[in-house]
């Protein structure tokens, strides 16, 4: 009985956190349907940025989301703990996408230059990321700028995705390569 009460209390607090976040960022943050936001998540929306998500979005605990550009997340999205999404330009995530623990999705690189024998940050190099529908991203993967991931894709754990991934495929490795294709099943 004790676990049921804790679960109910946790879900209630999660719903309250979600609605407080929506009220605070009502002009730049658009969410629909029921969403669950876990504990100790950090969501930063910079001036001029926007974040939209569809129905049933679940963020577990300790995730970091920073939006300086645009972030769009489709319905049926789930992100496990300790994930990181940083959108300096544009990140678009389709419907029914599941993300494992410690996944990083970054649409930028740091632009370092050697000036007077000193390494200095000169800004960022950005390119949009598109993740299709029905995608499963395994634990500890990194998705880098300019990547398009097709529909019905599985990305194996510990993969570094720095090139486009075709639809209906399983990829893995550093850098990620197509391991095999997923056959379509007709019903």
| Per-residue model confidence as pLDDT tens for the chain (187 residues) | 333 334 555 555 555 666 666 555 554 555 555 566 777 888 888 888 888 888 888 888 899 999 999 999 998 899 999 999 999 999 999 999 999 999 999 999 988 888 888 888 888 889 999 999 999 999 999 999 999 999 999 999 999 999 999 999 999 999 999 999 988 765 5
Q: Are 56 and 75 in contact (CB under 8 A)?
A: yes
What gap in Å lies between CA 81 and CA 160, rounded to an integer? 19
**Domain containing 160 — which CATH number?**
2.160.10.10
What gap in Å lies between CA 94 and CA 77, rounded to an integer? 8
What gap in Å lies between CA 187 and CA 179, rounded to an integer? 25
Residue 187 covered by a domain: no
What gap in Å lies between CA 85 and CA 108, rounded to an integer? 11
Residue 186 covered by a domain: no
Q: Which of 25, 88, 110, 158 is catalytic?
A: 110
Residue 55 covered by a domain: yes
Task: Give me the domain span that covers residue 45.
Answer: 2-181
**Number of structural domains in the chain:** 1
Q: How far is CA 18 from the centre of its chain?
A: 17
Q: What is the chain's length?
A: 187
Q: How does pLDDT run across 52-97, given as a tens digit for each residue? A: 888 888 888 899 999 999 999 998 899 999 999 999 999 999 999 9
Has 108 been annotated as catalytic? Answer: no
Residue 35 covered by a domain: yes
**CA angle (24 as vertex; 18, 27 as ends), nearest 5:** 105
């Amino acid at each position: 009985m004790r676990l049921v009460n804790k679960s109910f209390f946790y879900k209630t607090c999660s719903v309250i956190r979600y609605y407080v976040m929506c009220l605070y960022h009502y002009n730049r943050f658009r969410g629909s349907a029921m969403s669950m936001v876990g504990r100790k998540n950090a969501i930063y929306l910079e001036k001029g940025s926007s974040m939209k998500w569809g129905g049933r979005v679940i963020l577990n605990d300790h995730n970091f989301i920073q939006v300086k550009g645009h972030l769009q997340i489709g319905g049926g999205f789930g992100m496990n703990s300790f994930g990181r999404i940083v959108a300096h330009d544009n990140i678009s995530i389709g419907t029914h996408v599941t993300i494992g623990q410690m996944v990083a999705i970054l649409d930028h690189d740091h632009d370092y230059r050697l000036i007077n024998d000193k390494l200095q940050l000169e800004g960022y190099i950005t390119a949009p990321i598109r993740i299709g529908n029905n995608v499963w991203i395994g634990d500890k993967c990194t998705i880098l700028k300019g990547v398009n991931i097709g529909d019905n894709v599985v990305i194996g754990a510990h993969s570094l995705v720095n090139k486009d991934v075709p639809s209906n495929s399983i990829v893995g490795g550093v850098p990620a390569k197509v391991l095999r294709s997923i056959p379509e099943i007709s019903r």
